[in-house]
Amino acid sequence: QVQLVESGGGLVQPGESLKLSCAASGSLSSIDAMGWYRQGPGKTRDKVATITTGGSTNYADSVAGRFTISRDNAKNTVYLQMNSLKFEDTAVYYCNAARHGPTWVIDYWGNGTLVTVSS
């Protein structure tokens, strides 16, 4: 029903920048928010940044001030601008779209794009 395709991952050195894109398609009218999650080696999948249909954004403490989430509604695309990248940012980054109810949430996921920060 909802398809998400990430792109933009790659290999970068510490301190460099990278911009990820997530193209959404399908039945999007019920989606309340979109965001980026990441899963590093041996770690859980954690929320990085989210943006609601109203434009409100939230960031994990570990990326606040370095990452910026944005959207282009005409293109149904969400972006994640990542600056001042660190070794610990290395992870598979997943695009998420969510439909929230008062007591439940439905999540849709892309297949992920790998970001490797290495010297």
**Extended strands (E) in 1-119:** 2-7, 10-12, 18-26, 33-39, 45-52, 57-59, 67-72, 77-82, 91-100, 105-109, 113-117
Structure tokens at 87: 């070794």
In the DSSP assignment, the letter for residue 89 is G
Give the pLDDT of the chain (119 residues) as one tens digit per residue.
Answer: 899 999 999 999 999 999 999 999 999 999 999 999 999 999 999 999 999 999 999 999 999 999 999 999 899 999 999 999 999 999 999 999 999 999 999 999 999 999 999 99
Instruction: Give the span between the Cα atoms of 67 and 77, in whole angstroms.
Output: 17
Structure tokens at 43: 């770690």
